[in-house]
Structure 1
């Protein structure tokens, strides 16, 4: 766990997985593990955001608390690194963070990782077209989001750049825009449901 830029090596293939992680759960871990295996990544960096600009952050636990919870969930897997980088460099939006990383991590092949439920609202993200044009993206299937995701405005706009799932191992080396949809084992866990259950017990 680090608040700064994680260690990296030239030539590495690194997945970027951003979110509030409030709280982190098995579904988040499954996304990371699926990406590591199917995309043949060397690392996945969990970018724990100070707060999602599209969400109400009132009552959001501190970044340190959420990072610690992520680290407990991940355990000893050295391939997954939890970072609070965005707070340290002062970025609020994903496009800014990716621009920062690409400028400072020359020789690294980044892939943006996203659950299918987030793809459905991707067109509302700040400079989402610039994100798609700067790094390949892997969308990992989530329960209840499959059809909604592939029919969303961003997916329709980026349809010409969709890569076949069988080519997942090549995604990190493709020139963006390039994206694919990964199917496989899914988890029904969600941060929203876990927060609701937690409130019910207190």
Structure 2
């Protein structure tokens, strides 16, 4: 049964040959691992391609170099809080990442725009939490003119073909991940790391997305391999839990405002 596969041979060369020559390629795991059989619950067709960035708007300012291992952490961050930092720091340490990029969405298509603070406020909120040289807060989606995660990731991969990207998300998103537009394309585009969050400690094998890609799951003990693996490959990481949530923070803030 086929599990993890290597695609390093088909990756495009960097436009900077002197740097890309030594950049690590995606590799398949040589470890002996028992992989669970895939459960073919349903078929998801490919997501539509994005129309591309607005002319003159795409200067990402991320400072990424060939060979880097970079986690991409998307969200509304409305507001950002210590729970988000917990996800980012856990991924940074457990996956051996060089950077974590916080992709602050202009507006989550799956959430009510009326409940969302202005982008500038959410960027400032994320910047106040994501401190340190390994954390980058970016409005890349606004610059790229994308609304859906799959489109944003395709643009980033095309711009940085010799960077090893990993999509990061909390386990609270795993249960509904199969409802995201192009979710299976995300799984096939880059490795995915799911970090445990309070209130969503379901068995990670029960979520439809986890079942669909069960045989590509990497044991947590080998998570540092993930950035160099060919997609699809994913892992589920547990760590001491942080119970902060954006919903609870907004509720407490609204209660204070009501009191006066």
Q: Is 2:250 the partner of 1:195?
A: yes
1:32 deviates by 0.7
Q: Which residue of 1 aligns with 2:117?
A: 61
- Give, in whole Å, the separation in 2 of the partners of 1:18 and 1:60: 15
Q: What secondary structure does 2:113 align onto?
A: coil
Task: Tell me how far apart the structure 2 counterparts of residues 90 and 181 of structure 1 sit (CA, whole Å).
Answer: 31
Structure number having the greater helix percentage: 1
Q: Which runs of 5+ in 2 are unaligned?
A: 1-58
- 2:92 matches 1:44: no
TM-score (norm 2): 0.75
Deviates more, 1:55-64 or 1:170-179: 55-64
Deviations 1:55-98 (A, max 9, x none): 111141111111111111223x0100000010111000010011
Q: Give aligned pairs, total.
A: 199
Residue aligning to 1:74: 130
Matched-pair contact (CA < 8 Å) for 1:49–1:87 = yes
Residue number in structure 1 paired with 2:65: 9
How far apart, CA to CA, are the structure 2 residues paired with 1:32 and 1:201?
29
Q: What value does the CA root-mean-square deviation take over the aligned residues?
A: 1.1
Give the match for residue 21 of structure 1: 77
Question: Are the counterparts in 2 of residues 136 and 174 from structure 1 also a CA contact under 8 Å?
Answer: yes
* Residue 103 (structure 1) aligned to one of 143, 158, 161: 158
Query: Which has the larger Rg?
Result: 2
Q: Normalised by the size of structure 1, how large is the TM-score?
A: 0.96
Q: Which aligned runs of 4 or more in structure 1 are off by greater than 6 angstroms?
A: none
